[in-house]
């Protein structure tokens, strides 16, 4: 069983090499680890880089290009996708954990997200908290819109997404926001599982490139623009009430109780998109005044 690892470096060479070294110590073969450099001139390449893109591209561009290359020329049964927001823990053996997860969930395997420690876990995605998962009997939990910091995904699900131009292959999600939600939607729509793992976990290091002034826009600008991009894209593809549609699907398929709000601000994608555009405009205005 082959697991192809992909590390997406976004201007953080030191962290990228640390991730690579842990994977090697965990007995992943160097031939099964792709380290993608985004082609930026803001930081040097990681020493472990073996695939360099020719110009500064965001995560969505890195993922689209790399996964198409791998799926067509070096296909694997499973892909372990790692961003530089993930700090791997040296106490874990990710090779063994991934193989154990696949053995346990090989039937209808779609995607398994790592659980998280630190960062903004408790604020943004508390259900994905590793500490919280330690208190439940089963090692897996269905979580709507889990953060894709480390993702173990099957070739089967990626092939579906490729044909549908969805998730990692959705070129309208230029900043990558919404990839996780659409990946989950594709899995559930085709009878594949989508869960968070208790045993596969990483430390979540948020906004590292922004904190080091190595990003091409502020964290606030990114969030506003990325959210507006996602709303526009999904409204066009799935309709104005895509959020209610996705949440209802998740609740039904996973038998999960969740609040599905009907407030107008959340009900219609165009209103949410407008809200983020207004927030971004006010942010730019404040910057000019200062």
Gap between the Cα atoms of 214 and 12, Å rounded: 8
Q: What's residue 264's pLDDT?
A: 45
Q: Is the dihedral of CA 210, 216, 219, 220 positive or negative?
A: positive
Tell me if 180 sits within 8 A of 153, measured CB to CB.
Answer: no
Centroid of chain to Cα 218: 19
The answer on 237 and 129 residing in a single domain is: no
pLDDT number for residue 123: 87
The verdict on 226 and 201 lying in the same domain is no
pLDDT for the residue 260? 60
Task: Single out the residue in 186, 211, 236 at which a domain terminates.
Answer: 211
Q: Are residues 198 and 232 in the same domain?
A: no
Q: What residue numbers bound the domain in which 247 lies?
A: 219-289
**In total, how many domains does the chain have?**
2
pTM over cut 0.75: yes
- Which CATH number belongs to the domain containing residue 51 in this structure? 3.90.550.10
Question: Quick one: which H or E segment has residue 112?
Answer: strand 111-117
Beta-bridge partners for 154: 78
Give 129's DSSP letter. Answer: B
Q: Which residues in the chain land under pLDDT 70? A: 209-217, 220, 259-290
Amino acid 262: pLDDT: 47
d(CA 264, CA 278): 17
Angstrom distance (rounded) from CA 35 to CA 13: 10
Confidence (pLDDT) at 258: 73
Are residues 237 and 201 part of one domain?
no
Same domain, 229 and 145: no
Same domain, 202 and 232: no
The residue out of 160, 195, 211 marking a domain boundary is 211
Per-residue pLDDT, 41:
83
DSSP run (H or E) holding 150: strand 150-154
Asked if residue 232 and residue 205 are part of one domain, the reply reads: no
């Amino acid at each position: 069983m082959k697991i192809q690892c992909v590390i997406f470096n976004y201007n953080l060479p030191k962290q990228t090499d640390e991730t690579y070294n842990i994977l090697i110590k965990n007995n992943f073969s160097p031939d099964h680890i792709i380290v993608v450099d985004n082609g930026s001139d803001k930081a040097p390449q990681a020493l472990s880089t073996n695939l360099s893109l020719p110009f500064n591209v965001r995560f969505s561009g890195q993922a689209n290009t790399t996964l198409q290359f791998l799926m067509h020329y070096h296909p694997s049964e499973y892909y372990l996708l790692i961003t530089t927001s993930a700090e791997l823990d040296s106490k874990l053996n990710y090779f063994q954990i991934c193989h154990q997860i696949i053995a346990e969930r090989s039937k209808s395997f779609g995607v398994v997200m790592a659980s998280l420690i630190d960062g903004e876990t408790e604020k943004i995605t508390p259900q994905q908290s590793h500490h919280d998962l330690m208190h439940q009997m089963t090692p897996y939990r269905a979580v709507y819109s889990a953060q894709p910091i480390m993702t173990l995904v099957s070739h089967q699900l990626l092939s579906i997404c490729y044909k549908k131009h969805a998730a990692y292959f959705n070129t309208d999600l230029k900043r990558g926001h919404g990839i996780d939600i659409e990946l989950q939607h594709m899995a559930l729509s085709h009878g594949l599982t989508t869960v968070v793992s208790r045993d596969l976990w990483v430390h979540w290091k948020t906004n590292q490139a922004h904190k080091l002034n190595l990003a091409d826009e502020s964290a606030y600008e990114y969030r506003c623009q990325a959210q507006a991009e996602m709303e526009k894209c999904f409204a066009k593809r799935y309709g104005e009430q895509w959020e209610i549609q996705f949440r209802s699907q998740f609740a039904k398929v996973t038998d999960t109780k969740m609040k599905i709000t009907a407030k107008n601000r959340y009900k219609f994608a165009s209103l949410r998109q407008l809200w983020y555009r207004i927030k971004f405009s006010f942010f730019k205005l404040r910057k000019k005044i200062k």
